[in-house]
Amino acid sequence: MAKEKLKLSLGLVRNNNAESTGYGKWYPTIVSRQPLTMDALVDHITAHAMQYPRDIVEGVITRISLCLPELLSQGVSVRLDGIGTFTPWAQSKRGGVARPEAGLNPKDIIKGIHIRCLPDGRKAQNLTSKAFKEKCVLSLDYVVEGSKNKKTYTEIAAWVEEHAN
């Protein structure tokens, strides 16, 4: 992570779903940017770690991206110090199973297999939610009204200008 605090841009989105218990309330959202490509990530890392050539950094990341799914698919959790622990977990279909019986097909009760990442909580690289929040400079950059489901938003620029710090 960078030594200086960089701005984390936030927006507020109004819930316009009349069936929701949060109807009419405003909720924060992080302004998403384009994901880094592998090349851009390798460039970023090599800029911080001059002693490692680009091809070594790219090779290590590539190997991790190949081995991580292999290990997770075998039920092996993987801890990457300073990043977090990756663990596979199963999401069951609604209703569950009343009683397991012989010949039960796992595909009939599993909705999905997901990967969970529990951030590393050690002091130096603490990536837990509370500690990570303290590492960010939060900036409210926009307020929008709309519907997440319909993906229709209208920006309210005057609100941000009026309430700027």
Element housing 91 (H / E): strand 84-92
Residue 162: what pLDDT?
Answer: 60
Identify the bridge partners of residue 115 per DSSP, sorted by sequence position.
Answer: 88
pLDDT at position 97 over 80: no
Q: Against a cut of 0.75, is the pTM above it?
A: no
Residue 125: what pLDDT?
Answer: 67
Residue 14: what pLDDT?
Answer: 79
Q: How many residues does the chain have?
A: 165
Q: Given the DSSP bridges, would you call strands 78-80 and 84-92 parallel, antiparallel or unpaired?
A: antiparallel
pLDDT at position 101 over 70: yes
Among 155, 57, 69, 148, which Cα is nearest to 114's?
69
